[in-house]
A and B are shown apart, each in its own frame.
Chain A
Amino acid sequence: KQEVTQIPAALSVPEGENLVLNCSFTDSAIYNLQWFRQDPGKGLTSLLLIQSSQREQTSGRLNASLDKSSGRSTLYIAASQPGDSATYLCAVYSNYQLIWGAGTKLIIKP
């Protein structure tokens, strides 16, 4: 059974730092992996989708990588800003379902 883990559960860093969020999964047979952002009291916003054949995707200051063989994905945020404060969730599409991690709550201190 596919399981998705995000560590740490919470992270607090000063503004301007580059940071990495981690996502690991137990079964490498995935179709794609998605990263989402969730703001308090809001729904989720899709940030990046990486197909299983890809190694990385970039959008602005965000870069997501995928290593299926090791069951890991990272979300790299460059030059962090207070507006990046949110919960970041990853989800893998596997066996026709999205399996979700519990998320990492990110706080960027001004």
Chain B
Amino acid sequence: NAGVTQTPKFQVLKTGQSMTLQCAQDMNHEYMSWYRQDPGMGLRLIHYSVGAGITDQGEVPNGYNVSRSTTEDFPLRLLSAAPSQTSVYFCASSTYSNSPLHFGNGTRLTVT
């Protein structure tokens, strides 16, 4: 049972480059979300989705786009990478927004 799968595990970008972080879940969860985790800080919500075709902004959405065309997939796009976006990114899913979250193993992104 795969759970939540994130790719890639590691990525290095130059300032200004764009890329997409992939997230897929096989648990038929309606709720999916993206977080970033920075040293000494709690997780911060970037974007979330309560179902296919529905997305909304979290606490720190600037510089990121998302879409939810299927229940399974929730990709995160960095439009023009900046050093401030260096972080570890986690995708998570759950049955509902207030249910226990299931996390992927994260993507460590470095922007130079």
Contacts and interface: CB of A to CB of B under 8 A. Distances in A.
Interface of A: 4, 9, 31-32, 34, 36, 41-46, 49, 89, 91, 93, 96-103
A99 to B, nearest CB: 7
Given A42-B106, A98-B101, 17 more contacts: A34-B101, A43-B4, A43-B90, A43-B92, A43-B103, A46-B101, A49-B99, A91-B42, A93-B97, A97-B58, A97-B59, A98-B45, A99-B42, A100-B44, A101-B42, A102-B40, A102-B42
A101 to B, nearest CB: 5
- A interface, over-half SS: strand
Interface in B95-109: 97-106
A44 to B, nearest CB: 4
Interface residues of B, number: 21
- B interface, over-half SS: loop
Contacts of B19: none
Contacts of B12: none
Contact of B90 (A44, A49, A97): A44
B54 interface: no
A101 B40 CA distance: 10
Contacts of A103: 42
Nearest to A43: B103
A100 B43 contact: yes
A40 B4 CA distance: 18
Contact of B45 (A32, A97, A101): A97
Contacts of B41: 102
B98 to A, nearest CB: 5
A100 B92 CA distance: 14
Nearest to B104: A43
